[in-house]
A = this chain, B = another copy of it.
Amino acid sequence: MNTCAPQLLDYPKPLPSAFVPAAPVTRCRELAVGVIGPGRVGSALLDQLRAAQPRLEREGRLRLRLCGVVASKRMWLDCDDAELNGRHGGAQVWRPNDLDAFAAHVRGGTAPRDALLIDCSASDAVVSHYARWLAAGLHVVTPNKLAGSGALERWQAIRRASAASGARFRYEATVCAGLPVVQTLRDLLDTGDELVAAEGMFSGTLAWLCNRHDGSQPFSALLREAHALGYTEPDPRDDLSGMDVARKLVILAREAGWALSLDDVAVESLVPEALADLPREAFMDRLGELDAPMAARLAEARTDGGVLRHVAHLDAHGRASVRLAVLPAGHAFAHSRLTDNVVQFTTRRYCDNPLLVQGPGAGPEVTAAGIFADLLRIAESLELRA
């Protein structure tokens, strides 16, 4: 084997662009894209799409066309720039928010095109449009958890619309952002494997708190630190309640074929009943009341020689729970890195050792990348256009 460092330093070189020659640009897949919700994730996605556009077209893989953006109250359509370019010098023209007009514009008028709507909002109202958009042949990609974890009837209608029209509905980024979780579960099941259990730590905040909670300082001090660092939601109860984790578990449970809803998940909230309904300031003033119960849980875990972790669990019978669990010190979740998300699938094929995916499971850039990967998966299935 050649171990000559200098040679390795100069060589290998990046592959020349001729390495995988671009297909004749006369035949290239083309996708019209509309983005709903230009917030932190939506903006990161727009940046990633703009940066990737020239490369994807050069490689003859995909011609991306951004047709519009919808914000909470107003929207921009590319045609406005076209029409008004002369007068406005290309400045973007915003018009009142109208989701249906937006969808119609992205899909194209007399000559409908391959079109994709990306919902980066956290809005339930937007989700209510999915089924209609999919039925009309528009693909939908989203990190919005409200479709997959909301009313079962609505989700079923969304899936039916997608199956009937052939328009694709993808939502990898709803669980652990850019980590390959939903697609990995999908592949296991589609290839005939059987899910025995899905376990995960789906909250970086709670993972950090559990990792740091070693008894050296009270839980409330750690929580205040996490809050100051911006690791928690503005109201930490939104993390401590476990509801966001439960939503992710419902999405995975439905992916596994269980007609599960949020109410079916046994969720243990870390917020004492007495503090659940207080105004935020009052709650922050009384954080100390979390210390005794959390210290007790830690002591209990240690007498068993285990560690305390916040775990979402789905079993082979579709039973779902989200709770503080005592795990053996050798458990994979016991060694997870601070703030990492982890998911592991135990199946008939992965029975002795499960399949495990771990890494940062939140943040605008990795969430946007998860959406972008879904977009590319859909683009692969588009017909080549002259």
Contact = CB atoms under 8 A, between A and B. Distances in A.
A166 interface: yes
Given A12-B258, A384-B166, A335 B337 contact: no
A1 B266 contact: yes
A320 B7 CA distance: 12
Contact of A259 (B12, B156, B350, B381): B12
A150 interface: no
A287 interface: no
Given A23-B164, A163-B20, A380-B381, A12 B264 contact: yes
Contact of A21 (B15, B163, B369): B163
A347 to B, nearest CB: 9
Interface in A10-26: 11-15, 19-23
A188 B12 CA distance: 21
Contacts of A253: 12
A358 B179 CA distance: 13
A68 interface: no
A259 B20 contact: no
A258 B259 CA distance: 46
Interface of A: 1-3, 8-9, 11-15, 19-23, 48, 51-52, 55, 60, 156, 159-160, 163-164, 166, 178-180, 183-184, 187-188, 190-193, 246, 253, 257-260, 262-267, 317-320, 330, 332, 335, 337-340, 349-350, 352-360, 365-366, 368-369, 372-373, 376-377, 380-381, 383-384
Given A180-B184, A191-B368, A191-B372, 19 more contacts: A8-B318, A8-B319, A8-B320, A11-B264, A14-B318, A19-B159, A20-B160, A52-B190, A52-B191, A187-B369, A190-B372, A192-B369, A330-B335, A337-B353, A339-B353, A349-B366, A352-B360, A355-B357, A355-B359
Count of chain copies: 2
A340 B353 contact: yes
Contacts of A380: 377, 380-381
A186 B168 CA distance: 21
Given A356-B357, A359-B350, A263 B2 contact: yes
A166 B262 CA distance: 44
A79 B304 CA distance: 64
